[in-house]
Amino acid sequence: MYGNSSLAVSSSEHSHGRTHAGGTARCTTHLARPTYSPALPAAAVAAARTDSSAAINSDGNTNDVTLCSLSSARLPTTVLLATARVVMVDTYGKPHLVRALLDSASQSNFITRECCQRLGLKYSNQPTCPVVKGIGGSTKDIQGSVKIKFESRFSSNVSFEINSLVVDKVTEQLPTVSVDTSLLANFDSLPLADDTYAVPGAVDILIGASIFPHLLLPRKVQGHSANPAPHALETVLGFVIVGSAPALINSYSTVSYCCAVEPPLDSTVRRFWEIEEVNVPLVMSPDDKTAEDIYCSTTTRDESGRYIVALPFKGDTFSLGDSRLMAEKRFFCLERKMMASPKLKKAYDDVVNEYVDKGIISPAPAVLDETQNGPSYVIPHHGVIREDKLTTKLRVVLDGSAKTSTSVSLNDILYCGKNLQGNLFDIIVNFRLFIVALSADIRQMFLCIGIRESDRRFQRFLYRFSYRMDSSE
């Protein structure tokens, strides 16, 4: 059989639209906080909280610090976070030791502005995340972004490059109180990533989860103190000390922090207005213009008024290889399904007979005329059954993307053409312009368009009504 009409050819490569879903990136990290003494009476602590809230509301500015919890218990322990001293080189090539906090719960990396100034690093004033939001809705502005490189202080071969957000302060001094190292003597022989882990000190950079898993090594050493005891975790930067540890003082405060990075308000408002904008007509691409020129110059109408079009070729038709062998294999596979399902066979026969009766397709002649000589294409096909349809439950799908022996398909050498579907906004507005709206489903609309004689050899397909017959075009 070959198609006399414009048969619908399926192809995932010839879609006209694509939808992108976007979302708001969120991350967690640590923020700086003011220091409260847990030794204060409860009334004093409550007063301090009230004064802090009043200060925030009085000046109209959002506080950069969010206090999530405060403990006033007297405990002889503290909690150590993973810190490391790494090497960074300034603009003059001089190495500097900076203190880093390793945070697996942060999606972003941070560096203090003071550290950038000390190293002479120039940072961009347009960061990817302009605002960092903390618990309770408090926000902290980001000063900029910069790409930094740091190395292990034990080996220059261990180095990483990361993009970091510039802030005034990453967090308070860590640890919050000094640690009693006399109970952690077994750590003395280890190559510590931060040999000042027991003394409160400033944090220059925060290394987030994008690098954290690349730092870890399998070895772990437990402290020998009674209870509690921290662990020494091996990393490529050295051993980091993490966990509860004995403190030199009997009182300490525990705080928890959380922040979210969200786009600024102006970008959200801008997106709102862009959604509501009337679409500007798009300029046709050169390929779409060529496809339209082909249709304008070759489209005709026969004596019955039916439109006759030419296939919009963009490539050499001689690039098509043999397609019959591939089409036969897929047709025989389809026949096996029809042998197992007489219902499918009858539905397929009915559809093909209907196409023949309406002149949509016709048997290919045994002897081809001059218009049918040259390269051709046999389209494989399969059926899709839709039980929910009231009329035709079987739809024949033609696969124009099936490759020939030269790995070239029919769709590969055809222009797609521009999207002819109306814009949804324009369709909805039309309901406000006219009193009456009509909606119609034109049955076999595309099959009502004919193909010119010389192009029908590219729309052949195989079918037979009986298994005893030879498969014919």
Is the pLDDT reported for residue 300 higher than 90? Answer: yes
pTM summary value: 0.43
Say yes or no: 381 and 442 in one domain: yes
Rg (C-alpha) for the chain, rounded Å, is 36
Give mean pLDDT, residues 416-440: 83
Is the pLDDT reported for residue 23 higher than 90? Answer: no
Specify if 420 maps to a domain: yes
Specify if 421 maps to a domain: yes
Total structural domains within the chain: 2
125: exposed, middle or buried (C-beta count within 10 Å: 0-12, 13-18, 19+)? Answer: exposed
Domain with 454, as residue range(s), is: 2-15+284-459
- According to the model, what pLDDT value does residue 367 have? 64
- According to the model, what pLDDT value does residue 402 have? 93
Give mean pLDDT, residues 110-132: 83
Specify whether the CB–CB gap between 232 and 245 falls below 8 A. Answer: no
β-pairing, 231-235 vs 238-246, is antiparallel
Q: Is the dihedral of CA 114, 119, 123, 125 positive or negative?
A: positive
Specify whether the CB–CB gap between 310 and 455 falls below 8 A. Answer: yes
Give mean pLDDT, residues 308-313: 93
Say yes or no: 329 and 437 in one domain: yes
Say yes or no: 153 and 299 in one domain: no
Say yes or no: 246 and 376 in one domain: no
Confidence of residue 369 (pLDDT cuts 50, 70, 90): low
Confidence of residue 230 (pLDDT cuts 50, 70, 90): confident
Residue that is last in its domain, among 229, 262, 295 = 262
